[in-house]
Structures are given as C-alpha cells and as structure tokens.
C-alpha cells in the first residue's frame, strides 16, 4: 500500500513504514492536484501537517483512501468527523511535539523579557555606532523567577509549559474548562522527582493576575483574546501564541502594544498564514517565528514513528 506524506515525514517514520511493507511517497503535491494524484497512484494513506487541507472534496473523490494522518496535534485542516462518517481512519500524534512547543514558548519568553528579539534586529544596524545607547535601551529587562504565568488550555502542551515554568520558579495559573486540576511531575537528570498539583481557575482570574499569558487551545472560529479580554489583564502583560493563528486578535494586539497595555508578545502562528500581516511582522514589540512549534528533530522523529505504528496497526 502507498502512503503519501504530503507535508514531509522524518526518516524514522519512513524507515518504520517501509519496514512494515508500505511504499512511502514524499513528493509535495499541490493542493489542487491532490485528488488526481491520490487516485492515479492508488494512495491508501495521506499524511499531512498544517499546510495541506483535507476537506470533503478529497474525501468524496478518493475512494481508495483509507486513512488520513496529521503529524501533530490540531486537526482543524481536516474534516475529521466527515472523514470518519465515510469510514476513514483519522489519526494524529497529540503528545509527540508537546515538549518542543513548550520550549519554544519559553524561547520567546526569555527573549521577550530581555528584549533579545529587538536587540537582534538593531545590533547589526547600530551596534557599532550606538552601542551605549542600545545598552541603555535594553537595560530594563526583568526576571521570570517569581512571576505568574497564565496557561490557557491545560492539556499536554499546557502541562509541559507548566513543567518548565515550575522549574524556573514561576507560579502557574492554569485555566481549562475540561480540567479541574492536574498532577505535574518534574523528572530530573539524576532520577529525582518533584510533584505539583495545579488547580485550574476561572479565566477572568487568570487575566487579572498573570504577568504572562500563553494560549494552548484550538481555534474556535473567533478570537479567544481580543480587546475586551486584554482590558481585563494587568498592565505590561506579555502574550504568547504558539497554538493557532487567530486565537489572539492581531489588530487588537497591535493596538494594545501601541498603548503600552501589552508590553510585548511572542507569535509563532498568524491569522493569515503563510502571508502574515506586515504590521505584525514589523512591530518592534513582537518576537516572531514562522510556525515552528513542533519543528525539532526529536519531535519529528517521535511524530514519524508514532504515525508509522498507528498506520501499521490500522492498515495491516
């Protein structure tokens, strides 16, 4: 059977699938040619990440398709329920990239509180001639230790964020309507462990008290955080979105950055991917990355092998 990994797959996944007797195609097929390619090549399994969309037209037109796999967590680019109603297997790898996304959150967070995102733009331009001025400009950083981090969405990724925050000496404020509390276990290099019980709180309480807020929920069709929610937050709050574009209303975020209500933001995802708003890209208070939350070698290896295991189990 043939598997089309249209958005790529790690070598570990290819090796595991080929060892199980599958033929793996890694050619990137344009969205408008997918139906034709799947039918012409008798593709049984289609693997995607966030770039390829698997809507009703593909599901209805590709009778040989038996499985759709998403390398990662969110499946908003797949018509999941419709596919399952039509008898297709729909799988993903919700835990494989959690640690990678959490580390990216803190990469943005560390860079934000010490202005590294802006310093890295200005040092090549002005470092030679205005070193003292830049030093003064970036000399008002703050420490994370002792601060409160608000985590909206306390699933796998949110809990990985909490682990790093606790290790950094931060207080964790978590909100999740589907979870009253969670046990967080920190495992150290020498085998020692530390356990914490985190009780979730109302989202209004989180907005009111958090020094930094990071979101880890699916996009629900409209922004979760817009002007009204930002007004509830502490002055000089920092916001991070490494979940889905649109969860934070970008125009309202820009307005809050201009007014000083929000001190800085970290964005890995955008409303208009792959062509983000230029005002967002140019804002000097925003730390930017191009949707790379799960893009570590370790996460991609885990995703590849987990997909391969599920495919072998379901199709062999």
Same domain, residue pair 154 and 134? yes
pLDDT for residue 50: 85
Same domain, residue pair 223 and 110? yes
Q: Which residues pair with 198 in a beta bridge?
A: 182
Taking only the tens place, the pLDDT of each residue in 246-285 is 999 999 999 999 999 999 999 999 999 999 999 999 999 9
- E strand intervals along the chain: 2-5, 23-25, 43-48, 67-70, 89-92, 148-152, 171-175, 181-187, 193-199, 212-215, 237-241, 262-267, 286-288
Which pTM value belongs to this model? 0.91
Give the closest residue to 4 by CA, choosing from 32, 31, 41: 41
Same domain, residue pair 54 and 150? no
CATH number of the CATH domain containing 154: 3.40.50.720
**Catalytic site positions:** 244, 273, 291
Same domain, residue pair 178 and 53? no
Same domain, residue pair 192 and 235? yes
Q: Can you tell me the mean pLDDT for 95-108?
A: 96
Give the closest residue to 243 by CA, choosing from 8, 42, 128, 76: 76
Q: Does residue 313 register a pLDDT over 90?
A: yes
Domain containing 193: what range?
98-288
Give the closest residue to 9 by CA, choosing from 299, 315, 310: 299
Number of C-beta neighbours around residue 285 at 10 A: 19
Same domain, residue pair 119 and 144? yes
d(CA 15, CA 237): 46
Question: Which two structure tokens, joined as six digits, stand for 194?
Answer: 């530390």
Q: Does residue 72 register a pLDDT over 90?
A: no
DSSP label at 262?
Answer: E
Confidence class for position 74, pLDDT limits 50, 70, 90: confident
Average pLDDT of the chain to the nearest whole number? 96
pLDDT for residue 136: 97
Number of C-beta neighbours around residue 33 at 10 A: 10
d(CA 28, CA 5): 8
Same domain, residue pair 45 and 133? no
Q: Are 101 and 293 in contact (CB under 8 A)?
A: yes
């Amino acid at each position: 059977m043939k598997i089309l990994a249209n958005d790529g797959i790690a070598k570990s996944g290819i090796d595991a699938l080929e060892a199980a007797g599958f033929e793996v195609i890694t050619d990137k097929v344009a969205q408008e040619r997918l139906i034709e390619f799947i039918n012409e090549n008798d593709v049984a399994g289609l693997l995607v990440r966030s770039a390829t969309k698997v809507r009703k037209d593909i599901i209805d037109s590709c009778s040989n398709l038996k499985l759709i796999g998403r390398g990662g967590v969110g499946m908003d680019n797949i018509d999941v329920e419709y596919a399952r109603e039509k008898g297709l297997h729909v799988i993903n790898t919700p835990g494989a990239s959690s640690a990678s996304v959490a580390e990216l959150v803190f990469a943005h967070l560390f860079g934000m509180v010490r202005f590294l995102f802006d310093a890295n733009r200005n040092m090549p331009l002005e470092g030679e001639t205005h070193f003292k001025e830049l030093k003064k400009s970036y000399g008002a950083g703050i420490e994370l230790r002792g601060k409160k981090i608000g985590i909206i969405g306390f699933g796998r990724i949110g809990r990985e964020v909490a682990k790093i925050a606790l290790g950094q000496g931060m207080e964790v404020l978590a909100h999740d309507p589907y979870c009253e509390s969670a046990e967080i276990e920190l495992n150290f290099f020498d085998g020692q462990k530390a356990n914490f019980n985190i009780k979730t709180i109302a989202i209004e309480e989180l907005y009111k008290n958090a020094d930094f807020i990071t979101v880890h929920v699916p996009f629900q069709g409209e922004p979760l955080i817009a002007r009204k929610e930002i007004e509830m937050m502490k002055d000089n709050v920092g916001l991070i979105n490494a979940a889905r574009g649109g969860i934070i209303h970008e125009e309202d975020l820009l307005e809050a950055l201009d007014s000083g209500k929000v001190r800085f933001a970290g964005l890995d995802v955008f409303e208009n991917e792959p062509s983000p708003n230029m005002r967002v890209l140019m804002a000097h208070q925003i730390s930017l990355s191009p949707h790379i939350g799960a893009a570590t070698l370790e996460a991609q290896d885990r995703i590849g092998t987990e997909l391969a295991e599920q495919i072998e189990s379901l199709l062999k």
